[in-house]
Structure 1
């Protein structure tokens, strides 16, 4: 029996006010603390919080009321975040509002986690290690154009320093530089310093534990909003539900044995990770009709491969291991104004909980690609580092600092890996590219590093780091906050590399509005 409006208003009071665009009534109720935090984050029958519902419908005043009421902006439905849903409306004012609040709430979450992070860092033994990231290819000359980087990680007490040279992606080119990030624990608080050695600038952010909610936060620059609204929305994630690990074998038939290899002087067991799936989705309904499937400008990698333009029938040429999953495009009763997207379904249909033939908001245009692959891991039982005690806190820190590389590695190593430290991980990407992560120069034992010394602590190696590792120096001038860079959820750096490799086999996005192949990356974006 269908629910009445009174029943819906009782079960989903905030959603009901949102659906009917009652922003004044909602503001008054939230100001009077009429609803609990749990009610503010309650999901409707289709999995949306009140804020996600308001964003999808494009109700700007309602979104403002919910944000003022401290609704969680770091929410998502089916993998699409509130910021991405705001982007999909095409409304710059709505996107600016949601993005500004998202950035502030991320800052608060980071600050609230400082005491626990400082405690974990302080308890973990000090170390120095280098993490080499490589994108390689079997195609002649291509590897010379693929990105690579070596993260140099210093950790002493509650202080962490990371040096990197691959700093971004712009105009279809890898952006190189010379950057250092220094995280310094100070009691229950911390500071994060970014040094640009080439420009001679420094930028500092202070993270204070227990920071007040709802303080003013600057809006994103207009060019950040414009860049988001003029680009497809991408999500990339690693599906590990069916993953399994098995020892790789070596030798001839009948004389097979478990495979071991030396990696940077350490004997490692070699494992294969089977049934790992990389999923990539891209949305483009917010783009003008003629720009929804644009050809990517040619990059050096594309030129070396002499890549041809894609077929309109890309899905017909796809290889069997590429599962193309087209998403249905729903009809939409469009408002003349882009500021407000009218629901295409009635409230009776939406709140009934039954599957919908069409959804609310702007009709989605989604392309999805699923790629199965087998990863290879080299695991060492007696490596001087401990994955959970020493590396995971660093990955937590770097992922919070919006480093897409570290966020993806964190996703992978959080799986239930076989015993041992993953000294090397290799993930084959599409057709011509491999991603490889290798740990090396542990405690500066392979090559000397300034202010780092390895010592024997009983039977094990240990590491001593000088204060100079975490000093900023006086030669740097203050720089503005690095807000011109897009957050890591856009994942452009890896998405572009894999998109180019897809084109080699003629399986990149179809130019029609049907959902066909997209790109994907080695982890969640």
Structure 2
């Protein structure tokens, strides 16, 4: 491709690079703000990296995607954390939540139709979390999750709502999805110990909750992890020392064929150019406390973190950027650590399981606010061997994996409707689960 063709191929990116807000405004009617350039950056990536705030706001007003990753796995929000402007971070975080809600709403009619065609059932699965980091596995949680499905409604009972590298939330929790309800009441979370409920909505977060979330992001490593599955191979697991044969065992009441999963590569990257030495030491102490089994308290700071001093201005031209064979450094100098790990796993497939993989995917779609269920859905979407995955290992975080076992599945005709209602004595607490 000729040089002129490449430099003229991305007009939105060029406008952002040159901070030409007037021309950008006109071109947004013609071009897609989600398009990626030769380095995998969207116009929003560039606007954030270069600190062109007017371009950022204009692109967000034209629905530029906040969740899109570039070739290195970084989102515009990742780059905003590196740049360190607090208002930009908050703006992107708010937009990310709004776009997530819009995506869920767009899928809802199709999801409700699929649920209405699925028979009513009870599903039980167990989570066992493990890590290859010394001392961490012994304090990781496990959970038996119970799922009831009736009509277009789903109830999930769990003791683990979510977790990240350094903290998780436990409790007696129920998710209730009502397909027939209005969107505001479609997804409810119950805290059965405190007897309160929260509507899961991405636009009801208080300003203080959002500010606290920004503080956590600004004081933490920027992480990304990708699961490369292009070379993935499923090989029949063998058993026996002398006379080798295919491994076939029962998982619960379901006979299953066991496979070795080979070729999954977990690539993780960690950036910390935005952190002070004090931040790094505090985070290190938090990880050490966790490895000793100590419970971490929430953030105690009441004064919000200030924006960072902007990085030095970019001195390369648009032509130099777009024609470069490697990704040029145009923002704050990255401090990045990369890790590449081959993930070895086992999966048990049963052709006697009562439901199909497609049915499971529809159920999991409802509970994607819980990140570990989103990871399960991502893995099950792979082209699996024949049958249903009754037992499987999945990567959840760069250092943590989970073994998921489907212990039971029963068709049930008389599931009580009351399971899918908010108990009358529960009070609403819109901020009980700030991460949802």
From 96, 101, 115, the counterpart of 1:102: 96
Answer yes or no: is the 8 Å Cα contact 1:104–1:217 preserved in 2: no
Between structure 1 and structure 2, the one with the greater Rg is: 1
Shift of 1:341: 5.4
From 219, 224, 241, the counterpart of 1:230: 219
Q: Does 1:265 align with 2:258?
A: no
Aligned runs of 1:4-403 on 2, under 5 Å? 8=7, 11-24=9-22, 26-27=24-25, 29=26, 34-36=27-29, 38-78=31-71, 79-136=73-130, 145-169=139-163, 172-186=166-180, 191-205=186-200, 221-253=210-242, 255-289=243-277, 291-292=279-280, 295-297=284-286, 299=288, 302-303=291-292, 338-339=309-310, 342-352=313-323, 354-356=324-326, 358-388=328-358, 390-399=359-368, 402-403=369-370
TM-score, structure 2 as length reference: 0.85
Shift of 1:15: 2.2
236 and 482 in structure 1: CA distance in 2 versus 1, 3 angstrom threshold: farther
15 and 140 in structure 1: CA distance in 2 versus 1, 3 angstrom threshold: closer
Answer yes or no: is the 8 Å Cα contact 1:349–1:356 preserved in 2: no
From 361, 364, 376, the counterpart of 1:409: 376
- SS state of the match for residue 351, structure 1? helix
**Separation (CA, whole Å) in 1 of partners of 2:276 and 2:197:** 39
Shift of 1:132: 0.5
Answer yes or no: is the 8 Å Cα contact 1:247–1:270 preserved in 2: yes
371 and 463 in structure 1: CA distance in 2 versus 1, 3 angstrom threshold: farther
193 and 7 in structure 1: CA distance in 2 versus 1, 3 angstrom threshold: closer
**Separation (CA, whole Å) in 2 of partners of 1:385 and 1:115:** 21
**Separation (CA, whole Å) in 2 of partners of 1:118 and 1:157:** 9
300 and 126 in structure 1: CA distance in 2 versus 1, 3 angstrom threshold: farther
**Separation (CA, whole Å) in 2 of partners of 1:260 and 1:363:** 53
**Separation (CA, whole Å) in 1 of partners of 2:376 and 2:103:** 21
Aligned residue pairs, count: 418
- Is there any run of 5+ residues in structure 1 with no aligned partner, and where? 208-214, 305-335, 444-453, 455-461, 488-525
Which residue is 1:477 aligned to? 427
Shift of 1:171: 10
**Separation (CA, whole Å) in 2 of partners of 1:273 and 1:206:** 37
Deviations 1:198-236 (A, max 9, x none): 2211112479xxxxxxx9997662111111000001112
TM-score, structure 1 as length reference: 0.72
- SS state of the match for residue 442, structure 1? strand
100 and 482 in structure 1: CA distance in 2 versus 1, 3 angstrom threshold: farther
90 and 467 in structure 1: CA distance in 2 versus 1, 3 angstrom threshold: same
Answer yes or no: is the 8 Å Cα contact 2:128–2:403 preserved in 1: yes
Deviations 1:449-481 (A, max 9, x none): xxxxx5xxxxxxx55412122121111111124
Shift of 1:289: 5.0
Shift of 1:428: 8.6
Answer yes or no: is the 8 Å Cα contact 2:199–2:430 preserved in 1: no
- SS state of the match for residue 371, structure 1? strand
Shift of 1:483: 6.4
349 and 184 in structure 1: CA distance in 2 versus 1, 3 angstrom threshold: same
